[in-house]
Amino acid sequence: MLESFVKCSAMYLTFIGLFGASASAQEPVKLVGFEALPFTTVGEGRKLSGLGYDFVASLFDTAKIPYQGEGMPLARMLETLEQNNAVGVFLARNPAREEKFTWIAGLVEEEGFFFISRADRKPVTSYEEAKTLKAIGAVQSGAPAALLQAAGITSVDLGTSEGINAKKLMAGRIDAWYTGGSIARHVLKQEQIAGNTVVIGPRIVPAPYWIVGSKTLPKETVQKLQAAFAESKNNGKFAAFRAQID
């Protein structure tokens, strides 16, 4: 009887171990993003959507990796990436962030940051010129704000979204708005701001947009997503995505 009990116990523990390992393997990866159209937008109940989200979610589907989308402020997204096994739809890649995260694939590798001004003002072509301005809008906790501050620019007006920065610019509350080119073009169109009422200066600094993961993201997950990304380039899905945002 004792022998039978031991065998049953061993079988039970083996079952629990296998079940636990299976459940752990199937735990969904957090797919996170912040308010940055056309790539991502955050709706009611922290629902994440947008062209970038749809594209990256399709890579998870191709790779057969379970995921759970969640929208949040940028500052919280950075914390989530640093503390959890998570993937961000996109993040500007720069030297300060290079070692903090796992860089999975480039969405817009030719991207950069630009100063946008009203058409009745001269284009801002450098950080030195920007230092003469009274107020420059940049999204809170984002790379543009960090770059301005690193360049010694103290007149940074932090906004909670790029749409708010665009409105501040047109209302004359800021002298220029510093952001990514593709985001600026989309926001100007969304806010119905005519192209002839603003001027976009030259690219100040390159800032490629990449799909980003936690440093602790399993290697197998990274490889599967990279393989799915390569497949999207071959089957036309990536080209279709880029056509939508460019």
The three-state (H, E, C) secondary structure of 87-100, written as one string: EEEEEECCCCCCCC
pLDDT computed for residue 176 by the predictor: 98
Domain locations in the chain as residue ranges? 28-109+208-245, 112-206
pLDDT computed for residue 141 by the predictor: 79
Burial of 210 from C-beta contacts in 10 A (0-12 / 13-18 / 19+): buried
Cβ atoms of 104 and 215 closer than 8 Å: no
- Enter the DSSP assignment of 175: S
Comparing 28-109+208-245 with 112-206, is the CATH topology the same? yes
pLDDT computed for residue 188 by the predictor: 94
Cβ atoms of 140 and 160 closer than 8 Å: yes
pLDDT tens, residue order, the chain (246 aa): 445 444 444 444 444 444 444 444 568 999 999 988 889 999 999 999 999 999 999 999 999 999 999 999 998 999 999 988 999 999 999 888 999 999 999 999 999 999 999 999 999 999 999 999 999 999 987 889 999 999 999 999 999 889 999 999 999 999 999 999 989 998 999 899 999 999 999 999 999 999 999 999 999 999 999 999 999 999 999 999 999 987
CATH architecture group of domain 28-109+208-245? 3-Layer(aba) Sandwich (3.40)
CATH superfamily of 112-206: Periplasmic binding protein-like II (3.40.190.10)
pLDDT computed for residue 12 by the predictor: 46
The predicted model scores a pTM of 0.77
Sign of the four-CA dihedral 214, 217, 223, 228: negative
Cα separation, 189 vs 24, in Å, equals 44
pLDDT computed for residue 25 by the predictor: 53
pLDDT computed for residue 245 by the predictor: 87
Cα separation, 151 vs 240, in Å, equals 37
Paired strand residues for 33: 71
Cα separation, 122 vs 18, in Å, equals 66
